[in-house]
Amino acid sequence: MKLPTTSEIIDDIEFLDDWESRYQYIIDLGKALPPLTEQERVPEAKVKGCQSDVWMHAEKAGEQLRFRVDSDAVIVRGLLALVMAAYNEKSPGDILAFDVDQYFLTLDLERHISPTRGNGLRAIVGKIRELAAAA
């Protein structure tokens, strides 16, 4: 399953009536992410600042950055899918120009996840933006 675009995700989330349905949608998005192998789940790939274990691998593919991510928590995999819809296979300029705060605000996400999950989400976004700035 290919991840939807950010605008498709926003439309889908807005269509759903309650946050229980929205959580399930986010979890289902996470199931679309290909898992990392045990050999890829190395300490160097861990994203610091996340409550759950999160691993990220990045590579440059032409003018784009490609990310592979995974987590040991199903809801976090879903949150990673939301982030990947925004950033995966985009140019460093597009990554830095994307208004992730507005995206999360539109999704009404941060009011519905725990503060520690919110901090982890910010850590993931920060790592991606750091990689894009260095590319």
Please, what are the domains in the chain?
A: 6-134 (3.90.1010.10)
Question: pLDDT per residue over 33-78, tens digit each?
Answer: 999 999 999 999 999 888 899 999 999 999 999 999 999 999 999 9
Spatial separation of the C-alpha atoms in residues 7 and 96, rounded to whole Å = 18
- Split at pLDDT 50, 70, 90, the class of 27 is very high
Measured between alpha carbons, how far is residue 94 from residues 59, 81, 100, 129, 133 in Å? 16, 18, 11, 10, 11
Q: Give the residue carrying structure tokens 């950033």.
A: 87
Give the catalytic positions in this structure. Answer: 50
Q: pTM for this one?
A: 0.93
Question: pLDDT per residue over 76-123, tens digit each?
Answer: 999 999 999 999 999 999 999 999 999 999 999 888 888 888 888 999
